Structure 1
Amino acid sequence: MNSLSLDLTGLPDISRHPYETTCKRLKNRFRIEVPGDIDFQLEQFETLNHHQSVSIRNTFAIKKTCGDSYVLLLDTDTQSVELNHKTKVNHSNSFQPWALAYLKRDFGRVVIRTETIIDKIREIIFPIELDFKDDKPFSDRFYVLTSDRHKTEAAMTQEFRDAIMSIKKSDFVIEIFEHTLVIGNHKPVTPENTIYLAEFVARLAELKC
């Protein structure tokens, strides 16, 4: 564990064990290294912008022949306003795993998540979703919003869609900004949650070969 330089400073006691166990599992499952300082420019992702603040507590690089992908353990501060007789601002801190990969193609801006009934109803009035007519199983399962239909269609190859279809869980969101992808679900750090995000970006790294 020393090689992972795990930062537990200020972490509540209740969160220490999941953190330590998660990092051990990552080390056992992948070839992990702690990279130097990298500016991942997380502020460009709308998925994370609803937090009052987001900071990276630990970064782990998953080493692959075709390129690295990353697991980011984030400290997040979420602000909510309570309106009673007096306006009260509440802050809640959470410690979340997110995973990041750099992609070969430029996707533009894209959000991908499991499609809901509300999404299906909304499409009748506002046909803003990108569907793949030649891949009905993917389009039936996932909701894809894009800023550039043609760029995203070209970038989301069958191989890329197959990688997303391999994710068995449904409680996640993927956001892509040009060549950078993040995936997470706003859930706390646990070994199971972190490993499943890490496995997805590690698979994406192999697509660059």
Structure 2
Amino acid sequence: MNKLSFNATGLADVDITAFDATCNHLRENYRVDVPGYIDFQLEQFEVFNHYRNLNTRDAFAIKHTGADSYMLFLEMNPNSKSSKAELKHHQQYQPWALTYLKHNFGRVFIRTETLLDKIREMVFPIELDFKEDKPFSDRFYVLTDDKDKAHAGMTQQFRDAMMLIREIDFVVEIFEHTLIIGNRKPVAPEHACYLAEFVSRLAEVQ
């Protein structure tokens, strides 16, 4: 780590500015530490399947009295095809937040529900709904491979934490005890803010 508190090797000036502003935001609003090496096993998340060479460039632990949560700065190369069907590689840097959960959720995918989702559900009822929490079910689209585990894990406190997220362009994926949230946007303080806020809130209620 250098004096900027992140790995600046290979970053363009505009990226260094964005990383520096985001790290400063984290330090100002949270008790942040640099953990030792942790294998976050990001390969288990389907949301990263269309990226190649996924690397955790930097990781910061957001300290709590209970379980820590983490802000990850990921370096990835999505594949895209040119008109000549040749693969092009475009390096991207994105902030994602991660926390560990007490309950085993199985595999869960959550995002803001769209009109297309509502229409699809009328034909294929595959979404997990919470009849006791209509505002949550109206806002979020929840897919799971184990409805019993997911329903048990997504307690009222969990759902309340989700409802406090003001942004709409994000995705949450849970694999058993590990949750990750991101919005596929570049590194920036305002993007990292609500990601860190959400996992911090979850760490307090779990």
TM-score (norm 1): 0.95
CA deviation vs aligned residue, 1:96-123 (integer Å, no higher than 9, x gap)? 0000000010100000000001101110
Change (3 A) 1:3 1:82: closer
Tell whether 2:123 aligns with 1:130. no
Decide which of 159, 162, 165 is 1:161's aligned counterpart. 159
Unaligned runs of 5+ in 2: none
Identity of aligned residues (%): 59
Task: Please say if residues 2 and 8 of structure 2, whose CA atoms lie closer than 8 Å, have aligned partners that are also in contact.
Answer: no
Aligned CA-pair RMSD:
1.3
CA deviation vs aligned residue, 1:38-94 (integer Å, no higher than 9, x gap)? 0000000001111122101110000000110000001110111123xx322211111
Unaligned runs of 5+ in 1: none
Task: Please say if residues 72 and 98 of structure 2, whose CA atoms lie closer than 8 Å, have aligned partners that are also in contact.
Answer: yes
Decide which of 110, 113, 121 is 1:112's aligned counterpart. 110
Measure the CA separation in 2 of the matches of 1:12 and 1:126: 46
Measure the CA separation in 1 of the matches of 2:146 and 2:98: 21
Number of aligned residue pairs: 206
> Residue type matched to 2:26 in 1?
L
TM-score (norm 2): 0.97
Aligned runs of 1:137-156 on 2, under 5 Å? 137-156=135-154
Measure the CA separation in 2 of the matches of 1:63 and 1:23: 15
CA deviation vs aligned residue, 1:101-156 (integer Å, no higher than 9, x gap)? 00010100000000001101110111000000000000000000000011111111
| Aligned counterpart, 1:76 | 76
| Aligned counterpart, 2:168 | 170
| Aligned counterpart, 2:91 | 93
Residue 203 of structure 1 and its aligned partner are, at CA, apart by 0.6
Task: Please say if residues 96 and 188 of structure 1, whose CA atoms lie closer than 8 Å, have aligned partners that are also in contact.
Answer: yes
Tell whether 2:18 aligns with 1:29. no
